[in-house]
Structure 1
Amino acid sequence: MEIRPIKTEQDYDSAIGRIEELWGAKKDTPEGDELDLLVTLVESYEMKHYSIAPPDPIDAIKFRMEQMGMTNSDMVKYLGSQSRVSEVLNKKRKLTLGMIKSLYKELKIPAEILLA
């Protein structure tokens, strides 16, 4: 087992290939240990080179609304008046801390997304 840091795309591709070969290796065996190490290295490389930016807070709200079959009128109890809902969803008004707390608590939208 020769484990090296993943520095290039070629290193990354080789590591992925080896992971595929080792997939299903039993835990606490040399192959299982190698698999664990390679997965950790690949995850680190992917976080650095292929990170995914968090979604825009308003896009996250709209997505949750769509998932739950909600309309703008349904958002009044979380954001305030109908005009305030419109302003927030059209990005003309920022979310307040009270709105964020309500959206987090009631609609289960992660606070770290709403605070972005």
Structure 2
Amino acid sequence: MQIKPIKTAEDNRAALARVEQLWDAEPNTQEGDELEVLATLIEAFEEANYPIAPPDPIEAIKFRMEQQGLEDKDLVPFLGQRSRVTEVLNRQRRLSITMIRKLHDGLRIPLDSLVKEYQLVK
């Protein structure tokens, strides 16, 4: 096992190719250890070089609704009356701090997604 730091996109491609070769390696073997180390190095390189920004708040809410099979009416406990839910989802009203807290606590939507700035539709 000869592992080196991943510093370039080419290094990353080579590491990914090696991971593909090792994919079925048994844990606690030399190949399994190599796979584990390469996966850690690849993850660190990709997080540093290809960061994924959190979605805007409305997209995060809609995604969670889709994941949990929720409808607009299911957001009333988090956002208030049905008309307010519609305004928020249509980007006509901003989320309040109270709404953000309720969405985070109740639906487990990450705070970094909920507090991100987004455009209102006028």
TM-score under structure 1 length normalisation:
0.77
The Cα shift of 1:83 comes to 4.5
In structure 2, the partner of 1:100 is 100
The Cα shift of 1:53 comes to 1.1
The Cα shift of 1:99 comes to 0.7
Match of 1:41, SS? helix
The Cα shift of 1:52 comes to 1.5
In structure 2, the partner of 1:70 is 71
12-21 vs 100-109, which deviates more?
100-109
* Residue 90 to residue 39, structure 1, CA distance change in 2 (3 Å): same
| 2:40 maps to 1:44 | no
CA–CA separation in structure 1 for the residues paired with 2:35 and 2:77: 49
Task: Give the unaligned 5+ runs of structure 1.
Answer: none
CA–CA separation in structure 1 for the residues paired with 2:23 and 2:14: 14
The Cα shift of 1:30 comes to 2.3
TM-score under structure 2 length normalisation:
0.74
> Considering only aligned residues, what root-mean-square deviation do their CA atoms show, in Å?
2.3
The Cα shift of 1:15 comes to 0.8
The Cα shift of 1:35 comes to 1.5
Aligned length: 115
The Cα shift of 1:49 comes to 2.1
CA–CA separation in structure 2 for the residues paired with 1:41 and 1:55: 25
**How much identity, in percent, do the aligned residues show?**
52
CA–CA separation in structure 1 for the residues paired with 2:33 and 2:64: 40
| 2:19 maps to 1:19 | yes
Task: Give the unaligned 5+ runs of structure 2.
Answer: 117-122
